[in-house]
Amino acid sequence: MWGHNRVKIHTTLIGFFAGILVMAFLLRPAHGAGLYADVLCYYEQGLHASTGYWTPENAVSPDGATKPSGVVSLGSWSDDPDHGQDYPVGLLVGFSASIANGTGADLFVHGNAFSNWFEPGFVEVARETSGVGATVDGWMDETFFLIRPSNYDALPNDPRQAPISMSYMSEHELGYADVFGDSEYMDLDWAIDDAGTFVVLPDIAYVRIRTVTDDAAGVFGYYTTDVDYVEGLNGTSQVPIPAAVWLLGAGLLSVMGIRSKDGCG
């Protein structure tokens, strides 16, 4: 009798956690319905940028509706620009119509990562306080805020201050560009100021991406964030389900399924 009840309990729990995984799958974000960054503010190429990928226009939409079809390489983390503009090394793009902070994911900053190969870039955002949307030089008098990555508390320093070793990175950390899969979705509610305090941003017009590290990558040269496009979602996509949730649910299902099969409790 007790063994029969245990099987019933296991069956109920399996159904419960299966339901969680199904809901998590249904709530995975989907992009393609937003607007693409259509203003190129600047590109300050860093050291070791990938040869042949130095055209920043590749990452900008001509009209905001057409997805860009190329990639631009940012080069290694550096605070010493080598092209004389005296801007932070990286790529700064904008939206001619500001992106609203909605209830879900607001940005998708896409690179060209694939499983087991990623070159993370940290992301900063700013408003256009004049209310007209991004302009080529409008960012110069705006304040930028960091999209706080999911591993921020484990980092040795804020990525805006100094490069960070790739040993602190994984392909599924949230809040970075050029990482794997759904991890490139971002929520404007993650924005923090220089002191690490969360800020409230009703909208943003500018997005700056910079490589997080200056580590060498062996035979591949150096890690350098690549940007394909920046998409504004206006909060219309769900925030990504952290990988830990998938792993926990799958693990529990596996364990309970085995225990139910052999009739042991």
The DSSP result for 20-65, as a single string, is: HHHHHHHTS---SSSEE--EEEEEE--TTPPTT---GGGGS-SSSS
Mean pLDDT of 209-219: 95
* 55-110 pLDDT per residue, tens: 999 999 999 999 998 899 999 998 765 555 668 889 999 999 999 999 889 999 99
What is the C-alpha to C-alpha distance for residues 23 and 260, in angstroms, rounded to an integer?
A: 24
In which band, very low, low, confident or very high, does the pLDDT at 166 lie, cut at 50, 70 and 90? Answer: very high
**Is the CB of residue 202 less than 8 Å from the CB of residue 67?**
no
For position 79, what pLDDT does the model report? Answer: 72
For position 199, what pLDDT does the model report? Answer: 98
For 24, phi then psi, to 5°, come to -60, -40
pTM as predicted: 0.78
Span of 23-37, 67-81, 148-162, 194-208 with lowest mean pLDDT: 23-37
